[in-house]
Structure 1
C-alpha cells in the first residue's frame, strides 16, 4: 500500500511538471471542506450520520484550459448514530461501543477534469479513481432481559471486521465545482460530489464494513413489552450485512491558479483601466450571534439550557430548544460579549466573543458551548391509566432507594416531569396526588454508561380512587417462605401510606395471594401472615388500624387456570403470586 501511494504521488508530480512545461495550461491548487452525508446502505447498515471532510486537490489543465488531469486527497469522518439504551418491561437494549464510534477514511484519487468558463464564473466537472484507507467502528448491541429463571443477554447486532478495524478499498468520486474568480489568480468555489468505495476485497482482505444482525420478526419490542423468549421477537439465525462507503459531499473552498497565459480582460478589468481591480474585503461590524449547547459527555444537543449573553448594550437570556439552539441574537455590534449556559444548577464554561469574531465575512457568529453534568436525566410522563392520555399538574415523588432522599416535582401542561439521577443508583417514582394513586415504579442507572446515554424515560400511570376499585401492587416481593417486609417492599408500602394519609376517608383491604403449588392450607396461612405483616407496617407508619383489613386468600383466587396438577410456566405462576389492594370505602 505504501509503495502504491508513493508511486501515485510520483506519477502525479511527474505528470504535472511535464504538462506545465509542454502544454502551457493552468495549474491550480485548492483546499476544500464541508459536509459528508451518508446515503443508502452506508446510512442504514453502517448507521453513519452526517459528518465532515477536508482535503486538497491539484488540477493541471492542458492547452486551451478545457481538459485537464487532477489528483484529490481527502480526510472523511462520519460518526455513528449512537443508540440510547431502550427499556421495556423486563429488560433493555443497549450498545457497547468498543472504540471511537465513527468511520474515518483517507481517500487518494486521480482522474480527468473538464472546465467551462463564462466571465468570472467557471464550472468544472471531474471524475476520479483511486484508493480509500478505512477505519471502522466496533460495537455490540445487546438485548438483555430477566425473568424468574435468570438474566439473559443476546447480541442482536455486532460488527464483524477483524480486530484492527482497518481496511483498504478501491474508490471513486465524481462531481461539479462552481467557481467565482476574485481576481486573475484567486477563486472561491462551492462543489458537490458523490464518493463510493468498490469491491468486496482488497488483496486478500475484506474491504467492506460488515455487521452480523438478528432480523426482527413481525412482533416488535415496545416499551410495554414483557419478553418471554428471544425467538418471539427475532429470527433464530442472524444475517451478515455489508456496506460500501457511500456519501454525498458538499462544501466550499478556495483555490489559487498559476496561469501561464495572458490574462483576458473581460469582466476582470475595471472600465477605462488596464489593470485588475483589487477585491476589498469589508469588515462586517454588525452580526447575528447563534449559540448551540451540547452535552459534553455524549455530544448530544441539549434542550432546556438557559443561555445568557451580556455585551454591548445587551443582556439577553433564552432557553435552548430541542435542537440545542438558543434564540438568535440579532444585529449585535462589534465588541466583547460574555456567554454562559446553565441547567440544573450547573453552568457551562464562560465563552468570550471579541472584535476578532466580528472580523470575518460571515453574517452570523455560530458558537457551541458544552454542558457537563455527570448525572442522567429522567424524562417522565404522567398519564391517565384509564383514558391513556397525559395528565398535567400531577405531583410526583422521586426517592433514592439507597439514601432514602426524596424530591418532588409537578408534571407540566403536557404531563412531563424531569429529574436528575445519580449514576450507579436505584430510584422509585410515584404520584402523590389526592384522590388518585399510581404504582411505585423502579428506575435504575446501574449498568448505564454516561458517555453513551443521557436520557432515561418513564411513563407513570395515574388512576382515580373509587369505591370497589382494586389494583395489584407492583414490585412488592417476599423472601421464599417468609412473611417479613423487605426493604424494597417497604418502599412500595410507603406509597400506600402516602395515599392513605392524603385520603382520610379511604378504607382498604390489603390481600396476599399465592400460586397453586404446595399445600393449600399452608399457602392460606402464609398469605395471611404476609397480609398481616403489610398491614402492621402501615399501622406502624401512622395509619389507623380500623381503616385496614388484612386478608390472605392463599391459592383460592387464581388469575389463570394454573390450578393443582396443571403444567404452567413460571411466568404464569408469578401472575398468581401477588399483593392486591381493594377499596372498601372512599368518599371524594
Structure 2
C-alpha cells in the first residue's frame, strides 16, 4: 500500500513538472485544516463523532488558467462516542476499548480542478480519486450476569476487522474552495468538501469498518435483571453491519501561487524601419453618467464627486443621469463616487491610461444599487389642475405604521423611497387644505424591470359648503363596523380636523338603490355613526361632527329602483362623503 501511495504521488509530481515545460497557468501549493463531520452510516454504525482534518494540496493549471490537475494528501481523524457501563440487578454491560478510540485515515487523491476568477476572488471546484489508508478502533461490549446456574458473559457488540485494525480502500473527494488573493502570490481560502470510500474489498482484504452485534428484542429491566438466560432479551443469531467512510470536511488555509513559466527565446533585436510613437496623455473632458444597476435606467438626483490631481468637483445628475461635464481635466488619478438616498455607487478610478485614447471626451458610467422603488409624486390643485408648491405630504407604511413627511418643491414634486412587497398611503397634511388618502403598493412589482412609481395627489382648499367623497372607504356586506383599511382613510380625516380646529363637518353614508329603501336608510345611518364614533375616539369633539345616513336618496347617476345598471354604476352610489358645515 505504501508503494502504491508513493507511486500515486510521484505520478502527480511528474505531471506537474512536465506541465512546467511550456508556458501555461498557475502552479499552487496549499496548506489546509479544519473540522470533519461524519455522516450517514459512518456516524451511526461507526459511532464516529466530529473530528478534524489537515493536509496539503498541489494544483497545476493549464494554459488559460481555468482547468488543471492536482493532488490532495490529508489526514482525517474522528473520535468515537464511547459507551458508559450499564448496571442492572444481577449484572452489567460494559465496553472494553482495546486500542485508540479513534478512526485515523490517510487520504491520497488525484484529479481535475476548475477555477473561476473575479478580481481578487477565486472559486475552485475539484473532484479527485485515490486511496485511503484506514486505522480502525477495536472494542468489545460484553454483557455479564449471574443467576442460579452460575456466572455468564455474552458479547453483545464487537468489531470485526483485520487483526491489525487497518484497511485500505478506494476513495474520492469533491468540493469547493473560495480564495481571496492578499497578494499576487499568496491567498487565504475556505473550503468545504465531501469524502467517501468505495467498495467492500481492496485487493483481497475487506475495506470497510464492520461490527457484529446481538439484536435486542426485550429490554432488560434494571430492577429485575436477567432471570433465565440471554435469549430472553436477545436474538439467537447476531447481525453484521459495515460502513464506508463518509464525511463532510470544512476548513481554511493558505496557498502559495507560483506563476513561473519558461520564457520564450527573445527575437534578435533590429532597428525598426518606422519609429513607433506611443500615445501621449493629454487634457480631456470628463463626462460621468449614473445608471440604476438593476434596470439600467439613467438616474437623476445623484450627487457625483470627482477628486484627484488639483480637482475637487461635485454636481448632481440631470434627467439623463449626466453629471456636469468637467472640461480640460489634466492627466492624473481620479476617484469618482456618486451618492443618493444614503446609498453610494460603485467607486470608479481613472488613471493616466484613460487619458491616452484618441477621443476628446472620457465617457464613464457608474452604477447605483438601491433595492427600493422610487415614488415620484406631484401635488396639484384639484380645482385648477395646476401643480401646487410647498405642500406637506406624509407617506405611511401600512404594515409598520412608520411615516415620513416631505414638502413638495417649486414644481410641486415630491420623492419617496418604497420598500419592496409593501403597502403605503400618501396624503397631504397641510392646514386649510385636504386630499384623498392615496394607496400605493409595490407588491407584485419586479425591481429589475421597474424603478419609478408615479402619483398625482390632488389637494383642495377647505371652504364652507365644500364637499368631497372619501375614496377607498369600504364596509363588509350588511355591516357597519369600521374595517382596518377604512380606519387608515379616517385617520387622514382626524389629521385634517386637528389641523383646523374651527372645522365642522357632516359625515354622510350612501347606498345604491338595490334592497329595501328603509333598510338602506337605516344601514347608511349606522355606517355614518360608526365613522363619527371613530373620529371621536381619536380625539375629535363630537360637537364638530354630524353623522347622516341618506340611504339611496342621493344617487349620483340614473341607477334608481327598477333600472338595470352595471356593478360599477352601483358602486358609484355606495360612497362616504364629507361636507364642510363651517370653516
TM-score, scaled relative to structure 2: 0.52
Distance in 2 between the 1:560 and 1:323 partners? 47
Of residues 312, 317, 321, the one that matches 1:320 is 317
Partner of 1:553: 550
Matches within 5 A, 1:16-55: none
User: Deviations for 1:56-89, whole angstroms, at most 9, x for unmatched residues?
Assistant: xxxxxxxxxxxxxxxxxxxxxxxxxxxxxxxxxx
Partner of 2:443: 446
Matches within 5 A, 1:102-181: none
Distance in 1 between the 2:467 and 2:572 partners? 16
Partner of 1:511: 508
Is 1:457 aligned with 2:433? no
SS at match of 2:357: coil
SS at match of 1:460: strand
Partner of 1:262: none
Is 1:306 aligned with 2:303? yes
Is 1:565 aligned with 2:562? yes
Distance in 1 between the 2:533 and 2:295 partners? 47
Q: Check conservation: 1:284, 1:363, Cα contact below 8 A.
A: no
Of residues 418, 421, 426, the one that matches 2:423 is 426
Of residues 526, 530, 534, the one that matches 2:527 is 530
Distance in 2 between the 1:307 and 1:580 partners? 49
SS at match of 2:287: strand
Partner of 1:585: 582
Partner of 1:484: 481
Aligned residue pair count: 312
Q: Check conservation: 2:282, 2:331, Cα contact below 8 A.
A: yes
Matches within 5 A, 1:174-573: 278=275, 280-573=277-570
Distance in 2 between the 1:356 and 1:454 partners? 35
Q: Displacement of 1:285 after TM fit?
A: 2.8
Partner of 1:76: none
User: Deviations for 1:14-69, whole angstroms, at most 9, x for unmatched residues?
Assistant: xxxxxxxxxxxxxxxxxxxxxxxxxxxxxxxxxxxxxxxxxxxxxxxxxxxxxxxx
User: Deviations for 1:504-546, whole angstroms, at most 9, x for unmatched residues?
Assistant: 1100000001111111111111111111110011111111110
Distance in 1 between the 2:519 and 2:495 partners? 32
Distance in 1 between the 2:346 and 2:555 partners? 60
Distance in 1 between the 2:297 and 2:285 partners? 24
Distance in 2 between the 1:584 and 1:372 partners? 51
Deviates more, 1:330-339 or 1:279-288: 279-288
Q: Check conservation: 2:525, 2:551, Cα contact below 8 A.
A: yes
Q: Check conservation: 1:430, 1:441, Cα contact below 8 A.
A: yes
Distance in 2 between the 1:569 and 1:361 partners? 68
Q: Check conservation: 1:383, 1:415, Cα contact below 8 A.
A: yes
Distance in 2 between the 1:481 and 1:278 partners? 94
SS at match of 1:413: coil
How large is the RMSD of aligned CA atoms in angstroms?
A: 1.4
Partner of 2:52: none
Distance in 1 between the 2:401 and 2:473 partners? 17
Q: Check conservation: 2:281, 2:352, Cα contact below 8 A.
A: no
Q: Check conservation: 2:281, 2:353, Cα contact below 8 A.
A: no
Q: Check conservation: 2:508, 2:577, Cα contact below 8 A.
A: yes
SS at match of 1:581: strand
Q: Check conservation: 1:514, 1:523, Cα contact below 8 A.
A: yes
User: Deviations for 1:88-125, whole angstroms, at most 9, x for unmatched residues?
Assistant: xxxxxxxxxxxxxxxxxxxxxxxxxxxxxxxxxxxxxx
Q: Check conservation: 1:283, 1:361, Cα contact below 8 A.
A: no
User: Deviations for 1:286-330, whole angstroms, at most 9, x for unmatched residues?
Assistant: 222111100000001111100001111111110001111101112
User: Deviations for 1:467-493, whole angstroms, at most 9, x for unmatched residues?
Assistant: 011000001111111111111111110
Distance in 1 between the 2:548 and 2:312 partners? 65
TM-score, scaled relative to structure 1: 0.52
Distance in 2 between the 1:500 and 1:565 partners? 40
Q: Displacement of 1:276 after TM fit?
A: 8.2
SS at match of 2:498: helix
SS at match of 2:280: coil
SS at match of 2:505: strand
SS at match of 1:434: coil
Distance in 2 between the 1:336 and 1:278 partners? 29
Distance in 1 between the 2:531 and 2:391 partners? 27
